[in-house]
Amino acid sequence: MAFIKALSYYLPERIITNEELCQELDDPKIDSLSKQAGIRVRHVAAPHQTAADMAIEAARNLFKEYGINPTDIGFVLYCTQCSDYQIPSSSCIIQDQLGIPVTAGAVTIDSGCSGFVYGLALANSLIEAGVSDSVLFLTSDTSSKNLLPKDKNRMLFGDAAAATLIGKEGIAEIGEFVLGTDGSGYDKLIIRNGGSRNKAKDGSDGDYVYMDGEAIFNFTMERVPPMITQVLSSNGISQDLIDYYVFHQPNKFMLTMLRKICGIPKEKFYINLEETGNTTSSSVPVGLANCIADGTIHQGMNVMISGFGVGLSWGGAVLKF
């Protein structure tokens, strides 16, 4: 049995408002479109700042807020799609920078919107298998650097990092997971250049994110509702006993449609992109941390979490506070 012990996050200092984006993209509609998506501002990493740099800041926030000694960490699990280098794994750099013992394991997983749920499942397994008593799970992406300067999708994305400590006791028991993948849709959200298949970046649009928004929307509406049913079944709980839902935050419109299709009451469903935008793998832990801090989530509650997107992949679980 594994538990979430602590949650924190980091947002870069630079903030871009809707008004600034209207000017940069030379499109006055960006402000109204951003507001429809539920976004007022988004935080953007500094030019020199990498995803690993942000993950380190999130971990330091966690250590400070909860009085955690990094020497007590037994494993570092890092989720990103913005690695500092092709090799080595950024998790190794993070281990050293945070002063985590050399006896700790460290590994990076390449995942995006569903990354928190996938990573939490891996951390849960590490605890249950006895590999480690304390897993530091970090998520971080600098999505802003992967978007064309004139791409209107810039209005949707913000940069962020989150830190979660998982152990044998804590504030929320981690329940059973449901995970899924449909790789036939791999090209619906993709950066084509820079990997081994198309190694060289050539200055074309292929160097940046391509997103088929309609396909991603349809995928979400098709896959997430049955996943919710499967998560309930796997955890032996009925929907009326779920007190709150914290899902990946792609945009307000998509989340509202998903909530209505699934018959989830508005007051039980987290939607909050106003200050951050879509922060990919960090959106769920940022949401959880905020809800714990303001008392929306408290002891005695059953909370369903879910992530879905790039891959195409999806996952869900129940946390028992």
Tell me the backbone φ, ψ of residue 40, rounded to 5 degrees. -105, -45
Assess if CATH 3.40.47.10 describes domain 175-320.
Answer: yes
Alpha carbons within 13 A on the beta-carbon side of 93 = 16
Per-residue pLDDT, 195:
81
Per-residue pLDDT, 154:
87
171 burial level (CB within 10 Å; 0-12, 13-18, 19+): middle
Contact indicator for 137, 163 with CB cutoff of 8 Å: yes
> What's the pLDDT tens digit per position in 158-194?
999 999 999 999 999 999 999 999 999 999 998 888 8
Contact indicator for 31, 19 with CB cutoff of 8 Å: yes
| Domain extent listing, the chain | 3-170, 175-320
Q: Determine the average pLDDT of the residues in 204-208.
A: 77
User: Is-same-fold flag (3-170; 175-320)?
Assistant: yes
> What's the pLDDT tens digit per position in 269-294?
999 999 999 999 999 999 999 999 99
Query: Helices (DSSP H) in 2-131: which residue ranges?
Result: 18-25, 30-36, 51-66, 90-97, 115-128
Distance between CA atoms of 77 and 32, rounded to whole angstroms? Answer: 38
> What's the pLDDT tens digit per position in 78-120?
999 999 998 999 999 999 999 999 999 999 999 999 999 999 9
Indicate the range of 140-154, 191-205, 219-233 predicted with least confidence.
191-205
- When pLDDT is cut at 50, 70 and 90, the band that residue 309 belongs to is very high
Distance between CA atoms of 145 and 318, rounded to whole angstroms? Answer: 33
Pairing of strands 172-181, 3-10: antiparallel
More confident of the two residues 64 and 211: 64
Structural domain 3-170, CATH architecture: 3-Layer(aba) Sandwich (3.40)
Indicate the range of 11-25, 49-63, 292-306 predicted with least confidence.
11-25
- When pLDDT is cut at 50, 70 and 90, the band that residue 137 belongs to is very high
Taking CA atoms, 34 is separated from 18, 154, 192, 245, in Å, by 7, 10, 26, 23
Per-residue pLDDT, 193:
82
pTM: 0.95
Per-residue pLDDT, 194:
81
Neighbours of 215 (CB within 10 A): 14
Please give the torsion angle defined by the CA atoms of residues 118, 122, 125 and 126, in that order, rounded to the nearest 10 degrees.
Answer: -160
Per-residue pLDDT, 30:
84
Per-residue pLDDT, 27:
82
* Helical (H) or strand (E) element with 287: helix 283-293
